[in-house]
A and B are shown apart, each in its own frame.
Chain A
Amino acid sequence: MITLTVNGREHSFDGDPEMPLLWYLRDELGLTGTKFGCGMAQCGACMIHLDSYATFACITPISMAEGSEVSTIEGLTENGDHPVQVAWRDLNVSQCGYCQAGQIMQAAALVDSTPDLTDEDIDMVMSANLCRCGTYPRIRAAIKQAAQARAE
């Protein structure tokens, strides 16, 4: 039996301990905001926070989350008002939107953990997340806006 906390609620699971968190969240808990894109940590659509670190849910077995706190896009904030979420809406970052939950989770962790963000920081961290629509210029701008808002 594995116990873990997801978006502040405790859950237990007695299925395959190797099941990636991604499929546990989506299929077992119905938290479909966390997306499948590659299954091998290549695209970042599945990005969650595991004990506040940005983590690829698609390659993280649920057994690794034993006793941990998992936060998904649905639980990032109660009202959708993280500076990153606000900036994403302000700048109409999204196109199809599919990868954006992962982008936002990655960006939120970046903005929350890194003061004085540089373009190089953004390149390095955000290059883990793919967007086939090509929203990178606006992601970059939104992260800068969110970082500014965070600093104020």
Chain B
Amino acid sequence: MMQTTRIVNVSRRSLVLGMGAGGLVLAVGLPPRGRSQEAPVEFGADAMPNGWRDDPNVFVSIDEDGIVTVTVHRAEMGQGVRTSIAMVVADELEADWDRVRVTQAPGDELRYGNQDTDGSRSLRHFFDPMRRAGASARTMLELAAANAWDVPVAEVRAEGHVVRHASSDRTMSFGELASAAAVLPVPDRDGLRLKDPASFRYIGKSDIGLVDNDDITRGTTTYGIDVRRDGMLYAVIARPPVIGGRVASVDDRAALQVAGVERIVRLDPPAIPAEFQPLGGVAVIARNTWAAIKGREALVIEWDDGPHGGYSSEDYKAELEAAVRTSDGKLILNRGDVETALAEAPTRVVAEYYIPHLAQAPMEPPAAVADVRDGSCEVWACVQAPQVTRLRLAEQMELPEEDVTVNVTLLGGGFGRKSKPDFVLEAAMLSREMGIPVKLTWTREDDLHHSYYHTVSVERLEAGLDDAGKAVAWLHRTAAPTIGSIFAPDPKEKLPFELGMGLTNMPLDIPNVRAENPQAPAHVRIGWYRSVSNIPHAFAIQSFIAELAEAAGRDPRDYLLEVIGPARLIDPSEIGDVWNYGENPDRYPIDTGRLRKVTETVAEAIGWGREMPSGRGLGLAAHYSFVSHVAVATEVEVVDGQVRIPRVEIAIDCGAHVNPDRIRSQMEGAVIMGVGQALTTEITFHDGRAQQGNFDSYLIPRMEIAPRDMNVHLVNSGGYDMPLGGVGEPGLPPVVPAITNAIFAATGQRIRRLPVADQLRS
């Protein structure tokens, strides 16, 4: 069932990578998953740290009143996983939805299987195990009823929260059967009867209310920042503004005079690479958050910035541009003969694209409560990776893992930021210091100044077109600091999983393709941000395809479909991507037919080809990521350099739809986030310091820019026997190029640097 051999066989450092990063970085220390490997190769949930579980005793409990409680082991950060997993279990269990409750699992992967809530994997990896957990529990209830009536189990049937024996017209409720069912052995996985999808009550239905709706609308939810413990103190930390920096001197006399301030604690900076270790600094611990914030304002600190104090975004952009203008980069793809094909092409097109740093900026900033005393450590925290949090706490606190409890609260947004438990470690260090519970809160300035930022990229593309305008040569150079830089000393090249996010796995129907990765050192902490490297890759590639259409005098939709090529199944490992989001390429090939279909769907929906009034334009983009196929079409209007986006059509083919309403909501959210990334959202650095500290300068989208006409198309190209694709992330990458392509159509101005900001003002 679970597979850990390959993980424990690799080095300690790779173990850290695998555990810390989930599957995203797991591939780093491992050999490529080529077909030639002799050892059996695991994919999907099997390949994740601690794999999966489907034991009904772990995930389902039923009390004597018949209330069914489903334990959800994945973190809820807005994707709706608490509702979706409960739907799956309840459906197979034949439970009545109104009598289903949800409880959140603490971090404990030996019990629950993998809990890293990232990579758009929760339903992709746990739809089947959770179906089996529900079906097993149902089977146990049926067996308990058959025993009670002394009839063959084949004659009884669970349905709608009761078990029925039709021939004798007897029923027993789930509540009546619960205690007898609980002592029965768990049925064999192989003989388990799963429901016929035609009889699903909740799976695939759009009218399921969120399990947290009532609490959210009444303000009674608990996020990490909301946890309260008896005798708790409140802390904020002044951290070095530059990674690798440290406190040179601190004068805390005024801070200690602030009413309510209890203690000032110095925290050492981490060794670099810091992985998930806190940044160090000076903590202020007080009787309430306000006193802690005022105390911190009163600190007088001189910082030693260390080696990254000169980091400047403008200079770094020039560095990346210089890097992509040479052919010195690591060769990552080479098909055909690009050099000759480019040399012979009658038309050559070159473009460079710049995609800035971003901060995840979840509305709930990082926050945690820790209680470390008497040889145990308990935390309450908004973490995407509770098991990793537990491991790091155990190391930091020098406690055995079983003495560390990680209670997972709701997450007020995550977007990758809360995959890194640095803030939980901070809370634990301060609680240990104080001997009482401590709540650590990050202010918004802390969040934006000390993020694990989305990387910064320059993508250079060059293509050769033949006499008919068809692309025959394609050269892509990508330079961006890698997420690997938080794990290893100063790596300068992108990791296979980063390249596999929309670059090495691009299904281009072009005979000569080469890709190179020039070096790019990291000067800040780089981390996962929703959709990760798909963001720069999709922006550059989808913009460039539209530029080629322009150069060829062709319609951008027709040209995009031509570059995607005819409908076919592509094994990503055969075009240069050994990663494939950790999935088996046989089950998860790239399907250009599905990519074409979503593209055609949004093009038709937006009325592609219609006459547009002056200042208006349509744009289109398609992208494959997280083993789902997505396309976006937008209509934009540009007036006096101001962009409005009146309409967006987005289509996703992610296989079967477990919770269609949450797929729609993820697409809606992806469009809004993409609107911000296209138009306004950017983190810049000067003197090593992030220049945006709050939402007055870090401009995430507001209601006024939200498209008023937005339509989500769920393209369904198969039933529940098809493997599920991701949903949380794949919506985002094509949104930005669909907007900038529409801006080009509206104005003739090509956006090659994000965000648009004031570039359209003359």
Chain A: residues with CB nearer than 8 A to chain B? Answer: 15-16, 19-20, 23, 26-28, 30-40, 42-43, 45, 72-74, 76, 80, 85, 88-89, 92, 94-101, 104, 119, 122-124, 126-127, 129-140
Beta-carbon contact of B670 and A134 below 8 Å: yes
Residues of chain A lying within 8 A (CB to CB) of residue B220: 33, 74
The A-contacting residues of B in range 707-745, CB under 8 angstroms, are 707-708, 710
Q: Are A85 and B703 in contact (CB under 8 A)?
A: no
* B259 close to A134 (CB less than 8 A): no
Count contacts between A and B, CB distance < 8 Å: 192
> Does the CB pair A97–B218 fall under 8 Å?
no
Are the CB atoms of B669 and A133 closer together than 8 Å?
Answer: yes
The answer to whether A80 and B259 touch across the interface, beta carbons within 8 angstroms, is no
How far is B442's CA from A39's CA once the two chains are assembled, in angstroms?
11
Min CB gap B48→A, angstroms = 24
Q: CB < 8 Å: which of B217, B411, B413 contacts A80?
A: B217
A85 surroundings in chain B (CB, below 8 A): 217-218
In chain A, what residue has the closest Cβ to B360?
Answer: A132
Q: Which 6 A-B pairs have the closest CB atoms?
A: A33-B219, A134-B672, A98-B412, A73-B219, A96-B78, A95-B78
B611 within 8 A of A: no
Instruction: Determine whether B223 belongs to the interface, using a CB cutoff of 8 Å to chain A.
Output: yes
Pick from A23, A74, A94, A140: contact of B706, CB below 8 A: A140
Q: How many residues of B contact A (CB 8 A)?
A: 65
Given A33-B219, A96-B411, A135 and B668 contact (CB-CB distance below 8 Å)? yes
Q: Are B694 and A34 neighbours in the complex by a CB distance under 8 Å?
A: no
In the complex the two chains form, is A134's CB within 8 Å of B673's CB?
yes
- Which residue of A is nearest B675, CB measured? A134
A124 shortest CB reach to chain B, Å: 7
A101 to B412, CA, bound (A): 12
Q: Are B695 and A43 in contact (CB under 8 A)?
A: yes
- Verify if B120 is at the interface (C-beta below 8 Å from A): no
Contact with A along B358-376 (1 / 0, CB 8 A): 0001111100000000000
Q: What's the Cα separation between A133 and B669 when bound, in Å?
A: 5
What separation, in Å, do the CA atoms of A99 and B412 have in the docked complex? 8
Known contacts A20-B290, A80-B214: does B706 contact A136 (CB below 8 Å)?
Answer: yes
Answer yes or no: B185 CB below 8 A from chain A CBs: no
User: Once the chains are docked, how many angstroms separate the CA of A98 from the CA of B441?
Assistant: 15
- The answer to whether A88 and B363 touch (CB under 8 A), given A15-B260, A72-B219, A97-B412, is no
Could you tell me which B residues sit within 8 Å of A by CB distance? 76-80, 209-210, 212-223, 225-226, 228, 234, 259-260, 288-291, 293-294, 361-365, 410-415, 441, 443-444, 661, 665, 668-673, 694-696, 700-704, 706-708, 710
A42 touches B210 (CB 8 A): no
The contact of B363 among A15, A32, A34, A130, by CB within 8 Å, is: A130
A130 to B213, CA, bound (A): 19
Smallest beta-carbon distance B734→chain A, Å? 15
Task: Give the CA-CA distance A15 to B412 in the complex, in Å.
Answer: 29
Bound-complex Cα distance A139 to B614 (A): 31
Most B-side CB within 10 Å, residue of A20, A30, A32: A32
Question: 9 A-B pairs, CB-CB below 8 angstroms?
Answer: A73-B219, A76-B219, A89-B209, A99-B363, A130-B363, A132-B361, A133-B363, A133-B669, A140-B703
Q: Are B223 and A42 in contact (CB under 8 A)?
A: no
Given contacts A30-B228, A38-B694, contact A89 B217 (CB under 8 A): yes
* Alpha-carbon gap, A94 to B217, bound state (A): 9
Query: Which of A19, A36, A119, A139 touches B225 (beta carbons < 8 Å)?
Result: A36
Q: Which residue of A lies closest to B83 (CB)?
A: A92
A42 near B694 (CB under 8 angstroms)?
Answer: yes
Q: A96-B410, A134-B673, A135-B669 are in contact. Are A38 and B703 (CB under 8 A)?
A: no
If A15-B259, A19-B288, A134-B672 touch, does A32 touch B226 (CB 8 Å cutoff)? yes
Other-chain residue from A20, A28, A129 in contact with B703 (beta carbon distance below 8 A): A129
B217: chain A residues at CB < 8 Å are 80, 85, 88-89, 94, 100, 104
B331 to chain A, nearest CB (A): 38
Q: Are B701 and A88 in contact (CB under 8 A)?
A: no
Q: Which residues of A contact B411 (CB under 8 A)?
A: 96
Are B704's CB and A127's CB within 8 A?
Answer: yes
Of all chain A residues, the one with the shortest Cβ separation from B232 is A27
> Closest CB of chain B to A56's CB: distance in Å?
12
**Do residues A40 and B696 form an inter-chain contact, with CB atoms below 8 A?**
yes
Give Cα A32–Cα B696 distance, bound, in whole angstroms: 24
Kindly identify which residue among B221, B668, B700, B701 contacts A138, using a CB–CB cutoff of 8 Å: B668
Q: Which residue of A lies closest to B259 (CB)?
A: A16
Residues of B with C-beta under 8 A to A138: 665, 668
CB contacts (< 8 Å) of A132 on chain B: these are 361-363, 413, 415, 673, 700
Q: Is the CB of A16 within 8 A of B364?
A: no
Residues of A within 8 A of B290 (CB): 16, 19-20, 23, 27
Expressed in whole angstroms, the Cα–Cα distance for A129 and B695 within the complex equals: 11
Cross-chain contact of B665 among A80, A101, A135 (Cβ < 8 A):
A135
Contact between B672 and A127, CB atoms less than 8 A apart: no
